[in-house]
Structure 1
Amino acid sequence: MAVTALRPVGEFPAMLSRLRQQRGLSQLGLALSAEVSQRHISFLETGRTRPSREMVGRLAQALDLALQDVNALLLAAGFAPAHGESAFTDEGAAMVRRVTQLALAAHEPFPAFAVDRAWRPLAANGPGQTLFGALIGEDGLNPQVSLIRAACESQTFRAAVANWAQLIVHFQALAEAEAWRAPPGPMRAELDATIAALKSAAPEAERVHAAPAAALILQIRAAGLRLDLVSTVARFGAPADTAADDLRIEFFYPADAASEQVLRRLAAGAESA
């Protein structure tokens, strides 16, 4: 388990102010969300009042903080951290990895990926590796690079997606939503790099409207391959450690019977190879 560095109690006012401003909240907005007075928020940010542990928890909930930031805010206020800080590969995350592998295996023959909040790949089932490895390239499944950025920078992937302009708008909204909540560090840096790549790849994307269907369909139209896929994303319902808090599992489903047949055929071919 990673050990969070201790922070001086005096850092709390500045940290609270920074986190509030990052969320685009006024002192009144935060006060309403945390169900306290604006005067109390002002006193907390100027250091005139020290928060209780319960108040830090209320503020963290109102700010929708990732667990790593909750710990940091608690430490800055002089309290012990409330959550574990494990990476996906740490011994302390064994349960998280087990659940992830069960979920990925159960989804076959359809593609699925486990990623962190920066959409960097942590694990994939066989169909996911086969399909997206072919579209992005094996080098694109790099655990240090988000799948979104790898897809954006892959000419093969972009050429294979018929509705790339719509997809890139979705990608950008997804990355910006995660960046808004990600603590500073490599994860935030990768999200920032992903957002920059998306904006550079499709500066006209802001003018694209979402598809009128019930959900965005990933329309793959490569040589000899026609697939319509939709995705759902699963997360732990009550994470108590950063390994669980940061995890997202994306499941791809065939949007029609023809796509289902293609995916089952691809999976059968991979098994017989």
Structure 2
Amino acid sequence: MNFPQALRERRTRRRLSQLELAVRAGTTQRHVSFLESGRSEPGREMVVRLAESLDLPLRERNGLLLAAGYAPAYPQTSLNDPALAAVQTALRHILTGHLPYPAIVVDRHGDLVAANPAFGLLTDGVAAGLLEPPINVYRLALHPQGMAPRIGNFTEWAQHILVRLHAEILRNPDDRLAALHAELEDYVPDRPLPTGHLGFAVPLRLRTAYGELNLVTTITTFATAVDITLAELKLEAFLPMDETTTSILAERANDAAGRA
């Protein structure tokens, strides 16, 4: 895809007019029009400004720079690289600090990067094959041999995941994520959602051998990262919504500590 096509496609996906993008980027609608028609060639600084104004992920900002004939601006470092040792340490501290509650770190496709010991309670009883790396947490949640049979509000929770993935695909198209979304849809029965369903605020009700857990999740991203790997990580932390859940998680943590 050449630069005019790439810019027009990304602007359209963001549902911005040429004028709106021009105002954000500090240029004119005429200049944006010329860029999209190929009548003008952008300087590197303009490409960076346009990418920022479109709020593109770092991976796509690099793609826009390449389409314009410039070198990528943002590195992509393996999380196992010694250069990111401090990041790995920080992630371990965050995961440990969230105990006795479950917390995980996933990449842009939902593959598990790291988890604290409490996450094991959520995955207890799932098929061994789903726990072989790379572990995809979305598949783990919705697969019939995964957590799905133990989720008390499976229809609501499944729709919550599917809607979240669909929104991400619309915002940042990705073939692998689209294929995963299609796979997950096959696992979800076509049932009406309950009255009063709030898709943005769905708790996870999960049956365990110790009682039902009632959890809400929070998602944290590394928004100021200038490395693609870090920018695409998500930290998902689970928090108890009632005293029963709090007690179960605390007791399980104490049992684990005693065994250790």
TM over 0.5: yes
Q: Displacement of 1:66 after TM fit?
A: 1.2
Q: Displacement of 1:13 after TM fit?
A: 1.8
| Residue 117 (str. 1) matches residue 108 (str. 2) | yes
| Residue 149 (str. 1) matches residue 135 (str. 2) | no
Aligned to 1:86: 77
Q: Displacement of 1:70 after TM fit?
A: 0.9
Cα 1:189–1:212, aligned 2, differ >3 Å: closer, same or farther? Answer: closer
The equivalences for 1:54-133 within 5 A come to 54-128=45-119, 130-133=120-123
Cα 1:155–1:212, aligned 2, differ >3 Å: closer, same or farther? Answer: same
The equivalences for 1:1-273 within 5 A come to 11-128=2-119, 130-182=120-172, 188-202=174-188, 204=190, 207=193, 211=197, 215-273=201-259
Cα 1:198–1:218, aligned 2, differ >3 Å: closer, same or farther? Answer: same
Give, in whole Å, the separation in 2 of the partners of 1:71 and 1:253: 36
Structure 2 unmatched runs, 5+: none
Structure 1 unmatched runs, 5+: 1-9
Q: Displacement of 1:141 after TM fit?
A: 3.6
Q: Displacement of 1:246 after TM fit?
A: 0.6
The residue matched to 1:126 in structure 2 has which SS?
coil
Cα 1:251–1:59, aligned 2, differ >3 Å: closer, same or farther? Answer: same
% same residue: 36
CA contact (8 A) 1:120 1:142 kept: no
Aligned length: 259
TM-score, normalization: structure 2?
Answer: 0.86
CA deviation profile, 1:233-267 (whole Å, cap 9, x unmatched): 11224111012101111111111111111011112
TM-score, normalization: structure 1?
Answer: 0.83
CA contact (8 A) 2:118 2:253 kept: yes
Q: Displacement of 1:81 after TM fit?
A: 2.4
Give, in whole Å, the separation in 1 of the partners of 2:178 and 2:94: 29
> Larger helix proportion, structure 1 or 2?
1
CA contact (8 A) 1:104 1:125 kept: yes
